Structure 1
Amino acid sequence: MKLFVVAGLVLLLAGSFVSAKPIQADTQVPTDTQPDESPSQAWASSVNSAYSADGIMSSVLDMIRSMFGGDEPAAKTVAELADHAPGNVSMLVNGVKRADLQAVIGDPNWEATIFCPTNRAFRAALLKLKIKITDLYTDKTALMNILSYHTVPGPALTAGQLKDGQQLTTVSQHTLTVHVDKVEGTSIAGASDTGKVVAADIKAGKTVIHVIDEVLLPPKPSAEL
């Protein structure tokens, strides 16, 4: 059960940090409240929104800091943080709800490190998988596999504790590798994808969330290879 909880934290935490003010580029990307839109259409829209601009990442960071920095009190639980999640991370937040993880994310003593992808990253993953968000929501096994792959149980790791070459074991018992570069920043490498940390150290209770710009797809079971 803790596996699912940790995965849920990742999604929820990412949502709260982006809510301070809207990201201009993301306003062109429909949220999952429009189920009729195909993943390919959504991805094309995100590409046209100049995703490569560093300014988008800076805007995300500014929003997160303005919402959680300064005198803003930290959320006591991941669930509390998720209550304020904006549309930019709605797909992951909804995924946590569909996976029935509220009890876990509502525990103030839950300790984990969560790498939370944004909606933009999630849409790209859907395109790669050739599925719709509704398909993923109804397949709880696949949903839990993805969520647990983004969650590392145990004492939460801050950005300063993430070291180059560090190996992290996820709730799903897979390994993620940390890459730290003085110029490029910190990134998290999975089996086939690498996500750059675009917002770090978002705290909720004893859990720390780092927002990444890529969904890390877990490796396929050996039977499917």
Structure 2
Amino acid sequence: MKNQNLPSWMKQLTGFAGIIGASALIGFPAWAHITSNTNVANSTQISQVAGKVKTAASPAPTSAAKDIVAIASGDPQFKTLTKALGAADLVATLQRKGPFTVFAPTDAAFAALPEGTVENLLKPENKAQLTKILAYHVVPGSVVSTSLKSGDVKSVEGSSLKVGVNAGKVTVGDAKVVTADIKASNGVIHVIDKVLMPPDAK
């Protein structure tokens, strides 16, 4: 991927790998503790405040070697997301060291958008808009379910995401986290049931 072709936010993203430490990220809000090396011990391990959110089962020893893109492309519920990442030229970016936290919409979440929305976003002429939307689903750092707290966090797109933790349920914007802590070699994936739209894209 040639840096000169990247949008400005992506140029900043490529530099995050060199400045994000294992336990802290400069400028990252205090609502979450960044843990790039945290492992999910088993399928029931989750914080008390997020106890009703399903966590991913412990990965096989070799799965930790898979990056975010490899995990998404190998999961049948992320076919649309995988196609969108390719159309936006974000595959190479999310294969970088990171770490990244990705709130990943399922195929059902994309299908719930108004008719024709996904098809239009996948067109080459709408690449900038698609990139903006996908970047809104990514947060720098690896934030696992045991670290989730209510508050605002800045996405890679630049706008803030509102995270809510209430009675054991976790929301991001108006989406629900339905599966948490899918661990990748360069971050973590949390599955959500809706596609998030940046404030100026609504």
TM-score by length of 2: 0.67
**Secondary structure at 2:190 match in 1:** strand
**Letter of the 1:81 counterpart:** I
1:162 corresponds in structure 2 to 148
**Secondary structure at 1:178 match in 2:** strand
Q: Residues 13-65 of structure 1: CA distance to partner in whole angstroms, max 9, x if unpaired?
A: xxxxxxxxxxxxxxxxxxxxxxxxxxxxxxxxxxxxxxxxxxxxx9x958x52
**Secondary structure at 1:102 match in 2:** coil
C-alpha spacing 1:131/1:175, structure 2 compared with 1 (3 Å): same
Report 1:113-128 matches (<5 A).
Answer: 113-125=101-113, 127=114
2:72/2:78 contact within 8 Å kept: no
1:90 corresponds in structure 2 to 79
Deviation at residue 91 of structure 1 after TM alignment:
0.8
Deviation at residue 74 of structure 1 after TM alignment:
2.1
1: CA distance between counterparts of 2:62 and 2:186?
Answer: 17
1:112 corresponds in structure 2 to 100
Q: Residues 66-91 of structure 1: CA distance to partner in whole angstroms, max 9, x if unpaired?
A: xx5465632431232234121x2211
Aligned partner of 2:138 among 151, 165, 189: 151
C-alpha spacing 1:3/1:201, structure 2 compared with 1 (3 Å): farther
Kindly indicate whether residue 187 of structure 2 is the aligned counterpart of residue 199 of structure 1: no
Identity %: 33
1:85/1:93 contact within 8 Å kept: no
Deviation at residue 141 of structure 1 after TM alignment:
1.2
Larger relative helix fraction: 1
1:110/1:205 contact within 8 Å kept: no
**Letter of the 1:143 counterpart:** L
Kindly indicate whether residue 71 of structure 2 is the aligned counterpart of residue 81 of structure 1: yes
2: CA distance between counterparts of 1:211 and 1:80?
Answer: 15
Kindly indicate whether residue 130 of structure 2 is the aligned counterpart of residue 140 of structure 1: no
| Unmatched segments (≥5 aa) in structure 1 | 7-57
1:89/1:117 contact within 8 Å kept: yes
Aligned partner of 1:209 among 189, 192, 199: 189
1:25 corresponds in structure 2 to none
Deviation at residue 146 of structure 1 after TM alignment:
0.9
2: CA distance between counterparts of 1:69 and 1:132?
Answer: 34
Q: How many residues align?
A: 155
**Secondary structure at 2:122 match in 1:** helix
Report 1:8-27 matches (<5 A).
Answer: none
